[in-house]
Each structure stands twice: as C-alpha cells, then as structure tokens.
Chain A
Amino acid sequence: MAIYTKEEARQIMEKALSFSTADATTINLGGSESGNIRYARNTVSTSGHRSNQSLSVTASFGKQSGSATIDEFDDASLEKVVKIAEELAKLAPVNPEFMAPLGPQRYDDDITFVEATANITPEYRAKVAAASIEPASEKDVTAAGFLNDSSRFRSTLNSNGLFAYNKSTDSDFTVTMRTNDGTGSGWVSRDFNDITKFDPAEAAKVAIDKAVLSREARAIEPGKYTVILEPAASVDLLRNMSGSFNARTADEGRSFMSKDGGTKLGQKIVDERVNIYSDPLHPDVPTSTWNGEGMPLKKTSWIENGVVKNLAYDRYWAGQKGMEAVPFPSNFIMEGGSATLQDLIKSTKKGILVTRLWYIRGVDPQTLLYTGLTRDGTFYIENGEIRYPVKNFRFNESPIIMLNNLEELGQQVRIDGNLIPFMKVRDFTFTSLSDAV
C-alpha cells in the first residue's frame, strides 16, 4: 500500500533523519495509488493502475545542497539515501540563493481526503464508462471519455523541527460526445475530491445534449462579440493570468506585472467587480494547507475590487526585497454572482455562448495575449435565447482585456480544482473561423 498514515510517515522520516550529519536536512516522503479507464467509439480502449512511492533527502552543508531519492524504506536503504545526498551536497556548486529549511510551522487541518474515492474499483470505473456509452448509443452519438482517480499522501520533515503531512483524493472525469453524422460535438468535465458527489449519468446527458444541439452549425463573421463564457471556457485564461503574479519576474521587468521600474501591486488592472483569492480550506475546492517547502497556505487575496492585492514572493526574493514571503496559490477562486446560465442568456441581446476554449497558447507575454479556439458547443444568442449553433472561432484575446470588458458575473462552478463563475464579457475578439467540429 503506497498510502502511509501520518505516524507511519513520521516514523520512516525520523529514521532517515537520524542518519544525517549535514548542517541541514529535509526529508520528503510521498506515495500515490491511481486508476483510470479510457473509452472511445462507444467502447473501452485502454485503462490502467499505477502505484508509486518515494522518499527524497536534501542535505545541505553551508550553501551547498544535494538531493537523492529512493523507493525502499528499510534502515539500510534510508541510511544509503542520506549518505548519497550528503556526498552530492559536498560536490554541488554553491547556491547563492540557498535558503535554510523552515522551522516548525502551524498548519490548518486539511479536508482533502475522502475514503470513498480511495476505494474506487475497476468495476466502478467500467460502470462510469457504461453510463456514457449506453445513453450515447441510444441517441446516435459516440462517446469518448476518461476517468482518473487517485489517492496520495505527501509529508515533509526537516532538521529544524518542521513536520507536515497531507493525504488527499482526487477524481477527474471528461467525456466528449460526437453525433454520428460528424456535425455535432459536446463535452463535459467534472472533478471532485469526493467521488460520491459525481453523477456520471447527469454528466453524460449534458454532453449528449450539447452534441445534438450543436449539429449543423452556421458560419457567422468573426469579429468582436459579447460572449457568455462557461467556467470551462475561462479557467485556462485565468490560470495563465495567475502565472504573472510572480513578484520576481515582475520586479525584473519581464512580466505583464512590471511597470515603470516597479510592479503593478496596488494598481487597478481589471473591472472593480473582479475578486480573486485562493483558499486551501474552501469546502468545494480543498487543497493541502502547506506548500512544497512547508510554508503554511492560508486564504490569500490576489485581486480585490480589480486591484492587485498580492504578488507571490518566494522566500529568497522576499528577503531580497524586504517583503514577507507569499506562497503561490494552490487553487483559484473567483467570486461570482447569483445569475444562472439561463439568466445570463436571457439578458443577452446578441452574443455567443462558449462551452470551452481549446489549444490556448501565449502570443505576447507583454500583454498576456493568448490565442486558441472554441470547441464542443458554440451557440448564437439573440434576444435572450439560444438561436442556433455556430462554427467554431479562433480568438486572440488577453484575460486582462476580458476582465476589463466584464458585463456580468454568474454562479460559480468547480472546474479543474478551481472555482470559476459563468461570465458575460463584451467585445471578445474572434479573429477567424474554423471548420472543426
């Protein structure tokens, strides 16, 4: 079994630490069990099971550090891995940015592990696939989907007295439904820490309905449109934007967040209704309460009323700048409103509903301009109603421009470990048409 309890993990790491002679030593122990099923053409294709565990040791003498990893935890192996790390440290170049390991920290209790998810069986996965394939066959639609579930733990202990442990479960499901005439495609994504919240039949229905509704899409001219972005459509642009919250690259002058020899910290960059924060204890999107180097993760505001509230400082850079270290977020929560998707459609005179965006790549890091395409359900809205499906578009747009052109925020949905609202945005830039279905 690759999942150790807190006490089992502590015992193994304390044993390893007992062999250390370095100035500072950090032990990391982790393991995971994961299973998946993949299906396509209304039948199963590949599936598998993986199990992993490893223990790594980072030893430091002065500002020289070395790391070694092992996957056997008997005393002789633990002693060997510590010795290897220490030998490597003595040979390593001096790291001028070396930071001594943190001392003891206080962490909030996490809420990331759910027994039911850890107990998923191959038979359950096959049933999930069947819950897509059977209704698809009935509607002249073909299903291709994937379910992956995992349980994992990670733990860290160091010679300065720090100890941290986290156990978590995850499940990710996506399915694409394509009509058999090749003219319609729908998609849905669901992810949970707790698999009992997952309704495979409900998810399959959403994708099938979109596939059927999106058949025989019409071509309309590319240009600037009001769009309603489902959370799956905006999440990647928002996540890409979050990458620019790195204080160091901002200070160095090579980021969207750089400005006039300094940064945009404290400046308004988007509409004042935009509030974005991270929170490891949010019940819908819980994460570990500590990061890779053992820093406690707390609820942190990144954008408040459109103003940049925090930039992420690693410990070294914080020291250089005389700032408090601010760890990178482990999830991304954007506050929404009370409007449902239907409400947003109803209040739209003319616009485009976008299910998701695909193949998003950066075009200009200076302006956070990204390109990509709509996919799996793009619809034209007129006078408060979905009128007909439209062909997919390529967009060239910056999340900064998008959040400045905000019209209305709707309800939040969990997507890929984050919480994102439906949003209506004006003047979203579509630059060309695609024939892809």
Chain B
Amino acid sequence: MMNYELESNDMDQELKIELGKQGIFVTTIEDLYNWGRRSSVWPMQFGLACCAIEMIATTMARYDLARFGAEVFRPSPRQADLMIVSGTVTKKMAPQVVRLYNQMAEPRYVIAMGACAISGGPFKQGYNVLKGIDRYIPVDVHIPGCPPRPEALIQAFITLQEKIDGQHLTGPDRPRYLDANAQGEFPVPERGEHDLEPTSNQGVWPVQIQGLRD
C-alpha cells in the first residue's frame, strides 16, 4: 500500500533513465494509471452548434484526434469519458447537457469549446442562451474562439492530458472520483417561468481561478 503513495517525483529520475537504458522499466502505479487514462479518453458524440463542425474536422484525417487516443466518439454517455461542449448552450438545452454529464461514468472530463460554451459568446446579452456551461458543471479546459480551429481543440485536448498526468491518486488534491465525499451528481436546472432555476450551481460557480478573480 505504501508503494501506491509513491509519486513520480519521489523516484530518482536519473536512476529511472539508467535502468531504462538497461532494459528495465520502472514506474509508479500513479504514472501507469494516469498514462492509461489519458491515452484513451473517449469523447461523447454530440454537438450543439457550429463548433461541432470544427470538432468533426478535428477527428478527421487532416487533424486526426485519434493520434491522442480519442478516436472513438461514443454515442452513449455511459461509455464516454470526455464531454466536448461544442457550441451554443441554449437555456432550453442546458438541462439535457447537465443530465448527459450526470449520466457519464467517472472519471469524466469536460472541455468547453468556443465562445458560446464558455461565456454565452455573442449571445451573452440574449434571453435564451446560457452564459457559459460552467455555471452548472465543472469544466476542465476552456477554449476561446468563434469557432476555435481544430488546432485549438487539439491544444485543449493535450492540456487535458497534461492535467490528467498531474493528478495524484491519494492526498487532498486527488480527483473528484477518488474522493468519496466529493459531489458526484450535479443538479439539473428546471425550466422556470422566466429563466432556468436555479440560474447557476453555487458548488461550481463562480469558477475560482487563481489570479483572475479578487
């Protein structure tokens, strides 16, 4: 059990390289586990607006998201690891997006793709568009752009992989799905008479980003 808590930094990197040269592969459970997870992140197959077209382009031969282990877009949330919120989330659609996220099995990740998904974009002052999906579900990577180019989505995907690589299996900063007390199900907003109720999930909103908010 002690070995499980070894972190990659605890190992002598030079020794590891030296052993590798001799044909001996040494690693930690954590490294192996994160490598496995980050190399087979399967996105969910759904698109909301024009960003979805760029997402589709990303998966095709020219950009080829399959190089990063994300070639299989699953049509069911039960089989998907990554939700790419690609496009405008209308208030009418938002409850379904949250419900789909709830139906995904842990570990699960969210990329908010494009200006609309991260903030409402050009429709921010409108009456019918949600001002960012991060009001209801935790978002791992935000991509600005209208729509972002496939390179931007690949960059976001690599960022997500780096984030997965840096996760610890134990300790206070372990990911949500390894924390029995962490929130697993996110409340689905109701469609009210004038707006969604509640207008945000206080557990995830406002997003706490160090250095950006006072």
A binds B: no
Using a CB–CB cutoff of 8 Å, the interface residues on chain B facing chain A are: none
